[in-house]
């Protein structure tokens, strides 16, 4: 009779592997995350993205999770440990170089991406790459070429960098390379980190584009960018004078084209304003980006002529600055074509604004509209509801002026 042998004791490293597997066993959940949404939309728009953030903040982990969520193989290349030839191609001498030339062979990671036909190329530690390597990356980032090889269109490029103050032997990013990226400032959210360490991280998903809004989104984006640049030609190209600022987002024809593409994708996906703001400012810079966002707000405002034609059906914007812009536009439309019916309709709109918003927003438009009255125009009933507000505001202004004058004379 055979005696069963005792089970072999588990080896210490096998037990350690089991424990590590439990620690790596995490899940994801749908959770609003503007940073992740901005990254996913830029990746969907096939634009290179550069994540800026302090070491250890989770840039690499975010890229790993994004690749898994999108089902894309992740290829990580540490830019600073490569030579320029690793990106421009390694020269290989053939049988007859005088006739055939010297071809530039691509590195193995580029060949793997071509064989896969898709993937997420992660260029890590970009700010520690010396200038010669950054120059070699220009064609890869813009044209997706590595030597004689062209990467498939389904390959997306994302890079990460640390600020020079916290990068090991860091370099400033060259302006030609910086102008090829959408720059996103990567920070951590306390609640996301705590919940993630507990085993649940936000889920990265590509934006859902509405097929019925594609043409409208493209038209809107082109109107917005072209309208702003037509009015502000100085914004077309502004190379920063400061070397450090040249390594970030700045306006050029290339970056404006990127901003236009992002606005179109955001419009087709119904993206939030917060995400769109991050993307636009990360493409053309804070100043031009904020001007573009303001132009987008104005494009969404109703036509003053439409409001004057049917003031009873108007729904005014909730935001105070946009509401004031609408009211000023209505008064300006009456000033350009003063007619009694239009003047009365404008008073109806001001009365509606008084009932549904802050009273101080109607003071200046009401005073301007009152000055447009012709002698034979009767005072409408709506003006009586506004008279008290305008009078009270004017008394407050006069009181403030007297107080300021008294302070100036030492009384």
> Residue by residue, what is the 3-state secondary structure of 165-178?
CCCCCCCCCCHHHH
Return the number of other C-beta atoms located less than 10 Å from residue 289's C-beta: 22
- Domain, as residue range, for 357: 304-406
pLDDT digits (tens, 9 = 90+) for 150-206: 999 999 999 999 886 665 566 888 999 999 999 999 988 888 888 888 888 888 788
Residue 211: pLDDT band by 50, 70, 90 thresholds?
A: very high
- 241 within domain boundaries: yes
Mean pLDDT confidence for 117-144: 90
Residue that is last in its domain, among 256, 277, 299: 299
Could you give the CA distance from residue 216 to residue 36 in angstroms, rounded to a whole number? 25
Please tell me the distance from the alpha carbon of residue 39 to that of residue 216, in angstroms, as a whole number: 23
Examine the pLDDT at 20 and tell me if it is beyond 80: yes
pLDDT of 384 strictly over 70: no
Residue with tokens 């303001």: 294
Count of structural domains, the chain: 3
Q: Residue 383: exposed, middle, or buried by beta-carbon count in 10 A (0-12, 13-18, 19+)? A: middle
Q: Which pLDDT band, with edges at 50, 70 and 90, does 376 fall under?
A: confident
> E strands along 44-165, which residues?
49-52, 74-78, 90-91, 104-105, 119-124, 145-146, 149-150, 155-161
Residues 291 and 315 reside in one and the same domain = no
- Residue 213 CB contacts under 8 Å (≥ 6 apart), including other chains: 267, 268
Assigned domain for 19 exists = no
Helix (H) or strand (E) run with residue 201 in it: strand 200-202
Q: Is residue 269 part of a domain?
A: yes
Asked if residue 3 belongs to a domain, the reply is no
**What mean pLDDT is predicted for residues 373-392?**
71
Q: Which two tokens stand for residue 122?
A: 């992660």
| Greatest Cα pair distance in the chain | 122
75 near 122, Cβ under 8 Å? yes
Query: Between 67 and 280, where is the model more confident?
Result: 280
**73 is a domain residue:** yes
Does any domain span residue 2?
Answer: no
User: What proportion of the chain, given as a percentage, has pLDDT over 70?
Assistant: 87
Query: Are residues 330 and 397 located together in one domain of the fold?
Result: yes
pLDDT for 322 equals 81
Same domain, 328 and 275: no
58-104 residue pLDDT tens: 888 888 888 888 888 999 999 888 888 888 877 776 666 666 667 77
Residues 259 and 385 in one domain: no
Among residues 117, 230, 240, which one has the least CA distance to residue 174? 240
Over pLDDT 90: what percentage of the chain? 36
Same domain, 292 and 314: no
Strand, coil or helix: what is 362? helix
Residue 399 has pLDDT above 60, yes or no: no
> How far apart, in whole angstroms, are the C-alpha atoms of residue 368 and residue 49?
48
Residue 8 is predicted with a pLDDT of: 67
Query: What is the C-alpha to C-alpha distance for residues 174 and 170, in angstroms, rounded to an integer?
Result: 12
pLDDT band at 290 (very low <50, low <70, confident <90, very high): very high
pLDDT: which is higher, 72 or 263: 263
| 55 shares its domain with 145 | yes
Domain boundary among 202, 221, 238: 202
Tell me whether strands 27-29 and 200-202 are parallel, antiparallel or unpaired.
parallel
Mean pLDDT of the chain: 84
Q: Is 7 among the domain residues?
A: no
| Residues with Cβ within 8 Å of residue 1, at least 6 apart in sequence | none
The band of 210, judged by pLDDT with boundaries at 50, 70 and 90, is very high
pLDDT at 112 over 60: yes
Alpha helices in 56-125 (DSSP H): 59-70, 85-88, 97-100, 108-116
Same domain, 171 and 61: yes
């Amino acid at each position: 009779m055979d005696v069963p042998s005792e089970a072999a004791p588990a080896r210490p490293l096998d037990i350690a592997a089991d424990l590590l597997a439990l620690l790596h066993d995490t899940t994801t959940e749908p959770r609003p995350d503007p940073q992740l949404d901005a990254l996913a939309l830029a990746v969907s728009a096939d634009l290179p993205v550069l994540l800026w953030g302090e070491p250890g903040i989770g840039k690499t982990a975010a890229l790993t999770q994004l690749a898994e969520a999108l089902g894309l193989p992740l290829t990580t290349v540490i830019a600073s440990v490569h030579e320029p030839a690793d990106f421009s191609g390694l020269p290989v001498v053939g049988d007859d170089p005088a006739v055939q030339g010297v071809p530039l062979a691509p590195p193995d990671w580029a060949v793997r991406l071509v064989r896969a036909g898709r993937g997420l190329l992660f260029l890590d530690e970009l700010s520690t790459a010396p200038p010669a390597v950054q120059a070699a990356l220009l064609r890869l980032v813009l044209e997706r070429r590595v030597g004689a090889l062209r990467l498939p269109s389904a390959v997306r490029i994302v890079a990460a960098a640390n600020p020079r103050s916290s990068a090991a032997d860091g370099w400033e990013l060259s302006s030609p390379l910086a102008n090829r990226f959408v720059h996103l400032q990567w920070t951590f959210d306390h609640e996301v980190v705590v919940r993630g360490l507990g085993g649940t991280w936000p889920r990265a998903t590509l934006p859902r584009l509405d097929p019925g809004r594609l043409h409208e989104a493209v038209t809107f984006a082109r109107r917005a960018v072209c309208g702003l640049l037509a009015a502000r030609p100085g914004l077309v190209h502004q190379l920063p004078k400061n070397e450090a600022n040249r390594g970030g987002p700045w306006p050029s024809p290339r970056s404006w084209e990127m901003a236009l593409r992002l606005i179109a994708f955001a419009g087709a996906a119904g993206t939030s304003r917060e995400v769109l703001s991050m993307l636009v400012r990360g493409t053309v810079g804070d100043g031009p980006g904020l001007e573009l966002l303001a132009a987008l707000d104005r494009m969404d405002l109703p036509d003053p002529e439409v409001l004057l034609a049917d003031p009873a059906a108007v729904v005014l914007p909730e935001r105070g600055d946009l509401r004031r812009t609408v009211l000023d536009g209505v008064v300006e439309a009456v000033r350009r074509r003063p007619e009694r019916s239009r003047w009365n309709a404008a008073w109806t709109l001001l009365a509606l604004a008084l009932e549904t918003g802050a009273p101080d927003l109607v003071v200046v438009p009401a005073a301007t509209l009152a000055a447009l009255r012709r002698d034979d125009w009767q005072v409408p009933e709506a003006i009586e509801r506004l008279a008290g507000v305008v009078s009270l505001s004017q008394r407050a202004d006069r009181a403030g002026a007297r107080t300021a004058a008294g302070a100036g004379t030492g009384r």
